[in-house]
Amino acid sequence: MGSEDKGLGFFKEIGLASNNIGSYINGQWKANGSSTTSLSPSNNQAIAQVTEPTLQDYEEGLNACNEAAKIWMTVPAPKRGEIVRQIGEALRAKLEPLGKLVSLEMGKILPEGIGEVQEIIDMCDYAVGLSRQLNGQIIPSERPDHMMLETWNPLGIVGVITAFNFPCAVLGWNACIALVCGNCVVWKGAPTTPLITIAVTKLVAEVLEKNNLPGAIFTSFCGGAEIGQAIAKDTRIPLVSFTGSTKVGLTVQKIVNERFGKCLLELSGNNAIIVMDDADIKLAVRSILFAAVGTAGQRCTTCRRLFVHESIYKDVLDQLVEVYKQVKIGDPLEKGTLVGPLHTRSSVENFKNGISAIKSQAWKILTGGSIVDSEGNFVQPTIVEISPDAPVVKEELFGPVLYVMKFQTLEEAIILNNSVPQGLSSSIFTRRPEAIFKWIGPRGSDCGIVNVNIPTNGAEIGGAFGGEKATGGGREAGSDSWKQYMRRSTCTINYGSELPLAQGINFG
């Protein structure tokens, strides 16, 4: 059956076919590896075939990318910004079909799929402005007739390894900034979302070709762990941005550190929402629902732990269970669906094992906890009453499972929030200024994202995104994250005829 027979007429619009080449090397689509099948998590049926690259293909691509870096880094930053602006326009023109592809191949609902592509477009807009603001500093010198200043120069090549749950947005966080900073980009998309990797790369490639620039400025590979390992080991890639599990992230970090490269890690989250006794309960319940079941619980910022003040505990739980019962589970491309499928069959097995572990520890499942009988990977969003000391609470079950616990004081809630190995996102619902400022202060949340009266997920691109502890410490997107993609030089210029030394040293 062709793509039109499956209702996938938009395939041609974004440059896809029944059989696709899974790597873009030196301005050409070529791959000499084995063939893999992209599956729809809604029904586990084949969408299309993709030929994956070999390590020889990788080597050819990196050699070309390394040569292209010598050209790209000499292009003035505002001119690089113009190229990124055109990439944003190309994405904007294909926003809806790309969003449909994200929903079809990853499984998130269509508004989220379109929102993910919009996030790259927003990053392009952000990076265009940034291209005229890559400023250094002039530093007062203690020596007469001397000037000190900072300069920022490109690293050369940035490697970006992305995960299935945000198969293109995380590329945008990294690539848009890396490109305006003067770096070439090598992208390895998730092995289970190769069509998204190919479709986005095709748009970038068209912009580079139209501007008579080397295609190797943006090199991309579909493929598995062997390509990721090659990127981690490659001394031609000074910075590797990795998004995925803490276990794999630790391995990547070790490999990159051993060659004195730099690592930008976005790893696991075990995020909490705290609901204080003075909270707006309706606002909190709506936020908890989105944070816990959005993307079927497969966001790194998904709310997995809910701490509710004992005085409002029953009221919050009653309302929350009621809205959970109204959630529509189904085809992510259908209007009205709030929860799509888990991404793979193995994700369903992990969910099943997690529920078994919860039941073995005799905790109470208030709603959900079952697999939906269908051809797809659908499970029921689940709420569990549990103790904060339960072993399962410390782990990240990557699905729509929410653990609910009581607390008595703000201090207790903060300790509970900080008690897990991960440190990505956190939220509190309160109207009291003293609680807000304690929460965001040095004795408050230990996470990289600290929210008040909003969910744990749905971060804006203007702020730096990332977390602490087992989340890896990386920061992507806004603020001053651009500095990670450049090397800083402190320059001292003597424009006089004497040689005074720093710290008043007299060398005779």
- Tokens of residue 416, six digits: 């509970």
**Spatial separation of the C-alpha atoms in residues 343 and 359, rounded to whole Å:** 24
Cβ-contact 107, 296 below 8 angstroms: yes
In which residue are the tokens 């702020």 written? 463
In which residue are the tokens 């893999």 written? 36
Bridge partners, residue 329, by sequence: 339
Question: Sign of dihedral through CA atoms 269, 41, 350, 389?
Answer: positive
Question: What spatial distance separates the first Cα and last Cα of the chain, rounded to whole Å?
Answer: 86
Bridge partners, residue 401, by sequence: 382
**Spatial separation of the C-alpha atoms in residues 342 and 320, rounded to whole Å:** 22
**Spatial separation of the C-alpha atoms in residues 508 and 272, rounded to whole Å:** 63
> Smallest Cα–Cα separation from 200: which of 332, 95, 62?
95
CA distances from 502 to 290, 389, 495, 507 (A): 57, 56, 15, 11
DSSP 50-114: EEPPPHHHHHHHHHHHHHHHHHHTTS-HHHHHHHHHHHHHHHHHTHHHHHHHHHHHH---HHHHH
Cβ-contact 419, 442 below 8 angstroms: no
**Spatial separation of the C-alpha atoms in residues 69 and 198, rounded to whole Å:** 22
Active-site residue numbers? Answer: 266
The bridge status of strand 422-423 relative to strand 468-469 is antiparallel
Who's near 184: CB < 8 A, 6+ residues apart?
65, 66, 68, 69, 72, 156, 157, 158, 216, 217, 218, 219
- Tokens of residue 115, six digits: 């929102």
> Smallest Cα–Cα separation from 319: which of 280, 351, 350?
280
The bridge status of strand 364-367 relative to strand 382-385 is antiparallel
Identify the H or E element spanning 271.
Answer: strand 271-275
**Spatial separation of the C-alpha atoms in residues 280 and 453, rounded to whole Å:** 9
CA distances from 439 to 35, 270, 312, 415, 421 (A): 51, 17, 20, 11, 19
- Does residue 321 sit in helix, strand or coil? helix
